[in-house]
């Protein structure tokens, strides 16, 4: 019986990872609403706390040498927006997320860290950012592109709201090439993580969807190509977390004001 349920969960998660458009958006919104209260704890457990260092690195890279406002798209509980707000040169950071539940968790975190005055957490859709062209010195997105109903549209929006000379930075789980590492990580992603998700977040489906969504996501090289085609220069990436995560970046082409 338990085994049947497990098989059903995992095949449901596989199907859901293949969704596109409005259906995917509904599925993802429902999933993150369910797990929002345990989201931070699960990140700490799944990455043994390493996601905090990756987010610090991402914010440092995004803001490096720039001054002005910054935006973190699909901010969840706000970690990256808060990291951006701490960077020298960043005068204000915006953290935007589709889900009011996530926004309110992010606001509480900003308040408890004494950063409410330098960060604005707000609801909004990454596919249609409520900001004029060139509003920000830099834009980041962490572990969210995979969940977007339209990855290209989400990236185009980030590029649009960054000013020429500004930077777009993406931190995301990345499909691994077949080999020893991917063989070693397969049971962790497809067995251990869904099990922890079931026990800690009470949601096996959500954490079975996670590895499936990685399998269906763009390989690092293809994501870099997409960023270049969307008008970024000096696009590059580096791998983190034993190759499970990729940090991409690029500079928006055009005349800075």
Binding site for ligand SAM (CB under 6 A): 25, 28, 32, 74-76, 79-80, 97-99, 102, 125-127, 142-144, 147-148
The CB-of-131 to ligand SAM minimum distance in angstroms stands at 13
> Phi/psi class of residue 29: alpha, beta or left (left: φ > 0; alpha: ψ in -120 to 50)?
alpha
Q: β-strand 232-240 against 245-252: which pairing, if any?
A: antiparallel
Sheet holding 136-142, edge to edge: 119-123, 90-97, 68-73, 136-142, 162-173, 245-252, 232-240
CB of 207 to ligand SAM, least distance (A): 11
| Between 142 and 166, CB nearer to ligand SAM | 142
Q: Are 11 and 18 in contact (CB under 8 A)?
A: no
Smallest gap from residue 92 Cβ to ligand SAM (A): 18
Using alpha carbons, list the distances in angstroms from residue 136 to 14, 118, 158, 247. 36, 14, 9, 20
Which residue number places its CB atom closest to ligand SAM?
76
Nearer to ligand SAM, 241 or 254 (CB): 241
Distance CA 174, CA 216 (A): 10
CB of 72 to ligand SAM, least distance (A): 7
Q: CA of 205: how far to CAs of 113, 195, 238, 247, in Å?
A: 32, 10, 30, 27
Q: Looking at beta carbons only, is 148 or 251 nearer to ligand SAM? A: 148
As measured in angstroms, the least distance from the Cβ of 98 to ligand SAM is 4
Nearer to ligand SAM, 206 or 232 (CB): 206
Q: What token pair was written down for 110?
A: 């900003």
Q: Are 189 and 162 in contact (CB under 8 A)?
A: no
Q: Which helix (H) or strand (E) holds 239?
A: strand 232-240
Taking the complex as a whole, the smallest distance from the CB of residue 180 to ligand SAM amounts, in Å, to: 27
Which of 45/127 has CB closer to ligand SAM? 127
Q: Which is nearer to ligand SAM, 2 or 112 (CB)?
A: 112
Measure the CA–CA gap between 251 and 256, rounded to whole angstroms.
Answer: 11
């Amino acid at each position: 019986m338990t085994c049947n349920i497990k098989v059903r969960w995992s095949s449901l998660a596989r199907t859901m990872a293949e969704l596109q458009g409005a259906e995917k958006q509904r599925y993802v919104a429902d999933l993150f609403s369910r797990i929002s209260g345990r989201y931070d704890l699960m990140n700490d457990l799944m990455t043994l706390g390493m996601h905090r260092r990756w987010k610090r690195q991402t914010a440092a890279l995004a803001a490096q040498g720039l001054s002005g406002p910054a935006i973190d798209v699909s901010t969840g509980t706000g970690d990256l927006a808060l990291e951006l707000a701490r960077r020298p040169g960043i005068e204000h950071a915006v953290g935007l997320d589709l889900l009011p539940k996530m926004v309110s968790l992010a606001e509480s975190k900003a308040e408890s860290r004494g950063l409410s005055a330098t960060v604005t957490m707000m609801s909004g859709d990454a596919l249609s950012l409520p900001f004029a062209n060139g509003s920000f010195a830099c834009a980041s997105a962490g572990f969210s592109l995979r969940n977007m109903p339209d990855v290209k549209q989400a990236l185009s929006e980030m590029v649009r709201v960054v000013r020429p000379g500004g930077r777009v930075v993406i931190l995301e789980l990345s499909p691994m090439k077949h080999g020893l590492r991917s063989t070693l990580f397969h049971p962790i992603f497809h067995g251990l993580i869904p099990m922890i998700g079931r026990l800690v977040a009470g949601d096996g489906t959500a954490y079975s969807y996670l590895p499936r969504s990685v399998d269906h996501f763009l390989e690092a090289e293809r994501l870099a190509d997409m960023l270049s085609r969307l008008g970024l220069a000096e696009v590059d990436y580096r791998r983190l977390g034993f190759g499970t995560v990729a940090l991409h970046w690029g500079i928006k082409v055009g005349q800075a004001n």
